[in-house]
Structure 1
Amino acid sequence: MKVTAKPKSGPSAASSAKSWNPYRLTPPPNVDRQQFTPRLSEEDRADLAEGVALFNAGKYWESHEAWEKIWRRHPEPWRYFVQGLIQAAAAHHQLRRGIRHGVLKHLHNALVKLDAAPPDFAGLALAPFRDDLHSLLDRIEASEKMTVSSLQLRFIS
């Protein structure tokens, strides 16, 4: 299932009138991919790796906290991508707590952001991770039963 952004309504709609261009995470065809790769400081790399290790260990709240440090330091599009990782962690935290609505909301929002990124953005193997998130979303939408996920996020070797 391909996830698309839902239009906002209500009082917050005016503040989010700026539409997100998913191509901001993907280089145009005539741009060298190496030049488009986010510039990560050593601190960014350490926080990204810490978040990945915590996520893979099932410490979803803690991974969210590690990634939030990066999110606070950077503008879009990097910030938008990191928010997708944070929302994937939040979905898993809600899954563990058994809060179906929270799982669905966070998975949907995470996939809107992560699907916009190239499969190797920031040195992460995003394609299999996104596929697993989509499968999890499909399973939960198709059934009321929720089981704890064991998704893993990896760096490209």
Structure 2
Amino acid sequence: MVEEIPSEFWQGVEQFNAGEFYACHDTLEALWMEAGEPQKKFYQGVLQIAVGCYHLRNLNWRGSAILLGEGIGRIRNYEPVYSGIDVSNLLDKSASLLAALQQAGAENVGDFVEQLDRDNGSSLPKILRDHTNGI
């Protein structure tokens, strides 16, 4: 089922994919606060993943791990696709990032972020549109 997604959400997606996690937070928070279910929980989960990535960029290991985990848990029930978003891909990338972050440990967060930068952020999750249904 494809729910109606406002254009502001797609703006947040562009910000997320560009690594502009704080801007994404601002964009999606406004939507989240006004939304009803089932969109509200979905927006909140995406928002939490974005904030987790923002915390990671600021070397806040604990904040990143907590928010990535909460966001993953919140959007899990929207798999595989929700409103044209490939949720399974977002979950896989976010869970892989969280697992690698946890394995690195808080004491190595700086080295972890340096490695992300060397990889040009390829380990960071992206929000992809689902194209299997012509969306």
TM-score (norm. length: structure 2): 0.81
Deviation for aligned residue 1:153: 0.9
Matched, 1:156 2:119: no
The structure that is helix-richer by fraction is 2
State the 4+ residue runs in structure 1 displaced beyond 4 angstroms. none
Return the letter of the residue paired with 1:38. E
Q: Say if 1:47 and 1:69, in contact at 8 Å, map to a contact too.
A: no
Per-residue Cα deviation, 1:90-138 (whole angstroms, up to 9, x for no partner): 0000000000000011011001111111211011011111101010111
Distance 2:102 2:35 in 1: 33
Per-residue Cα deviation, 1:15-61 (whole angstroms, up to 9, x for no partner): xxxxxxxxxxxxxxxxxxx3xx3233xxx1x1111001001111001
Matched, 1:139 2:100: yes
Paired position in structure 1 for 2:84: 123
Q: Say if 2:84 and 2:129, in contact at 8 Å, map to a contact too.
A: yes
Paired position in structure 2 for 1:16: none
Paired position in structure 2 for 1:67: 28
Return the letter of the residue paired with 2:125. L
Larger Rg over CA atoms:
1
1:5-24 matches, within 5 Å, as none
1:50-61 matches, within 5 Å, as 50-61=11-22
Distance 1:95 1:118 in 2: 25
TM-score (norm. length: structure 1): 0.70
Aligned residues: 118
Between stretches 76-85 and 95-104, larger displacement belongs to 76-85
